[in-house]
Amino acid sequence: MTIFRLRPEEFPMLFIREKHGLKIHVSAVRFRPQPCCHCHVERSETSLSRPLVFRSKGSEILRFAQNDTYEMVWTRREKMKYDWREAGEEWSAPWGSSAAQWTGTIFPRIRDFLPTGTILEIAPGFGRWTHYLKDYCQQLWAVDRSSECIEACRRRFASDSHVRCYLNDGRSLSMIPDGAVDFVFSFDSFVHPDREIVEAYLRELGTKLKIGGKGFIHHSNFGEYVNTTRERLPEALAKPLIKLKLLDWAHHRNPSMSADLFRALCAQHGLHCITQELVNWRGRRLIDCLSLFERSESAPQNPTKIIRNPNFMREAVRIRRQWRQTGA
């Protein structure tokens, strides 16, 4: 039997995989990789671009290589065309439906700012949150970089004269008048773009929001974890552990953004984060953040309230059960 001891402190657990009739046990310890018995481990520095090779009795039985940087992976992903056949409902699966997610999770967090005059929704997708937001404002502007999404929203809300849908370049809001927005909203989308894109939007919101206008954006906090040992594991080693639910999946969260960075970027562009709720997403790590912010002329009087909520997914399970019981 071949045993390899690796370093990932985040998951003290045992993984067993069979390859060519041999069993490989990978167990977490707090030290550098060390081979046991007559096996040989070749491992270069812990880096996304370095390979991990396992050999046994002189023959290579497993080779795990990760040659991509996060930037390379993200660039390829950006070029992929998303399959919208479910209109985004698949992302509400933990809640049972988008209606349950809106009623039980999203609306309670923004109800104090609704109804209002003008709402701006960035990256609405096929309009699953637009469907609810439109009933809480006199005017709603939906802006997305995807022509497919904008066309879908225009068809869906054709009978709602106060809803306008605009195609943009994925970073600018030139079609929105300065000082015209009371409330800006985005959920499920800002978890993916990198720092440059997020900052471009915050720069725009620093002028598009009215003084005192509020914003609620769901964005990535994956940057908090990007330098952990778990994230330095080669993808080929991490992937089977994720399938066994021994490791969390990052869900394509962008590693260049975190709650701290988002808060700092807001401050640079005349925005102040009122609260930031760090939440888990189908896992244990708090890889997402729900940031509530406002545009203010004067320096903020109160510090940002930081909430670390590891029970966000439990909330989703509870809401799903309640909706099933009520037959909603």
Residues of the chain with CATH 3.40.50.150: 90-221+257-326
Domain topology for 90-221+257-326: Rossmann fold (3.40.50)
Predicted confidence (pLDDT) per residue in 2-26, tens digit: 333 333 333 333 333 333 333 333 3
Assign 305 to helix, strand or coil. strand
For 21-65, give the DSSP string.
TEEEEEEE-SS--EE-TT-EEEE-SS-TTS-EEEEETTEEEEEE-
- The chain-wide mean pLDDT, for the chain, equals 78
Check pLDDT > 80 for residue 174.
Answer: yes
Task: List, in order, residues 6 or more apart from 106 with CB less than 8 Å away.
Answer: 129, 187
Q: What is the dihedral of CA 316, 318, 324, 328, to 10 degrees?
A: -70
**Residue 86: pLDDT over 50:** yes
Q: Is the pLDDT of residue 63 over 50?
A: no
Position 284 scores a pLDDT of 85
Torsion on CA atoms 112, 115, 120, 124, rounded to nearest 10: 90
